[in-house]
């Protein structure tokens, strides 16, 4: 990370003035019969509103587990997780699902678009689940989000009719559905070629500049170096931040 980027991250944290994400003493143990695997061994981590943070580390280090806990997909074995003032570790599964749909946009490596739905229908899906306003308003917002990611003319295309980069753009439009403060990516460029990956990162950077907090896992050191801050995970512990 360059001095300029580090300075930008510090300025954002100072301007934001508040923590968006806080993990305190977070542990996660997976159990299969009598076998236990400690994925996280006591994580302390804070991310300020408006930061762009990359999480790096070897396979099996606990990177994706951290993302799953921060998005409420998984629950900690011990410790406290607070996101935008909400204690996720105290929520029920139903509360977590509702909170996640309204407050977090998730971008996956393999897009996870529904193949029988058009780009527009995929982009509107989270709003349908939330029962947000009227059907016309939901589709209007989805069209707006497709326009934001440069796919205003591809709304009627099925995923199979789109390139990998276009499918990931649809996935980002879907993640923007509820206008969340936090966008989380699990290897969001990992299934893309170098040029398309750079375009995706430029889009994420633009969203960050507009005020979104961006948190992503990556194995790409060049991609990680472009974030404001890099959090290094090894053996279930934060070893650098």
Find the radius of gyration of the CA atoms of the chain: 18
Q: Which whole-number Å values give the CA distances from 174 to 91, 135, 147, 185, 229, in the listed order?
A: 25, 16, 12, 13, 26
Residue 241: which pLDDT band, with cuts at 50, 70 and 90?
Answer: confident
pLDDT at 14: 45
Burial bucket for residue 36 (CB in 10 Å: 0-12, 13-18, 19+): exposed
Query: Could you tell me the two tokens for 73?
Result: 């997909």
pLDDT digits (tens, 9 = 90+) for 24-61: 999 999 999 999 999 999 999 999 999 999 999 999 99
Could you state, in order of their start, the residue ranges of all structural domains in the chain? 3-240
Dihedral sign computed on CA atoms, order 219, 220, 226, 230: positive
Query: What's the CATH fold of domain 3-240?
Result: Rossmann fold (3.40.50)
The structure's pTM equals: 0.88
What's the CA gap between 201 and 130, in Å, rounded? Answer: 28
Coil, helix or strand for 112? coil
What's the CA gap between 146 and 182, in Å, rounded? Answer: 18
Centre a 10 Å sphere on the Cβ of residue 22 and count the other Cβ atoms it contains: 18
Angle, helix 164-175 to helix 135-148, in steps of 10 degrees:
130
Distance of CA 103 to the CA centre of its chain: 11
pLDDT at 17: 52
Lowest mean pLDDT among 7-21, 112-126, 182-196: 7-21
What are residue 41's DSSP bridge partners?
Answer: 27
Residue 109: which pLDDT band, with cuts at 50, 70 and 90?
Answer: confident
What are residue 105's DSSP bridge partners?
Answer: 183
What's the CA gap between 209 and 124, in Å, rounded? Answer: 24
């Amino acid at each position: 990370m360059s001095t300029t980027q580090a300075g930008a991250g510090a300025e954002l944290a100072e301007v934001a003035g508040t923590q968006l994400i806080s993990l305190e003493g977070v542990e996660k143990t997976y159990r299969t019969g009598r076998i236990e695997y400690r994925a996280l061994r006591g994580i302390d981590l804070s991310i300020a509103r408006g930061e762009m943070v990359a999480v790096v580390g070897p396979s099996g280090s606990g990177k994706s587990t951290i993302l799953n806990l921060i998005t409420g997909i998984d629950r900690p074995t011990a410790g406290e997780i607070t996101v935008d003032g909400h204690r996720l570790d105290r929520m029920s599964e139903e509360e977590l699902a509702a909170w996640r749909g309204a407050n977090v946009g998730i971008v996956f490596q393999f897009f996870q678009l529904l193949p029988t739905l058009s780009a527009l229908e995929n982009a509107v899906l989270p709003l349908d689940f939330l029962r947000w306003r009227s059907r016309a308003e939901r589709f209007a917002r989805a069209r707006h989000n497709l326009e934001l990611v440069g796919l205003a003319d591809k709304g009627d295309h099925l995923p199979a009719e789109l390139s990998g980069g276009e499918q990931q753009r649809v996935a980002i439009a879907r993640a923007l559905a509820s206008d969340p403060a936090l966008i989380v990516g699990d290897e969001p460029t990992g299934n893309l070629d170098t040029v398309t990956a750079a375009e995706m990162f430029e889009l994420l950077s633009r969203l960050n500049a507009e005020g979104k907090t961006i948190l992503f896992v990556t194995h790409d050191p060049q991609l990680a170096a472009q974030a404001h801050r890099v959090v290094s995970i090894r053996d279930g512990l934060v070893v650098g931040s």
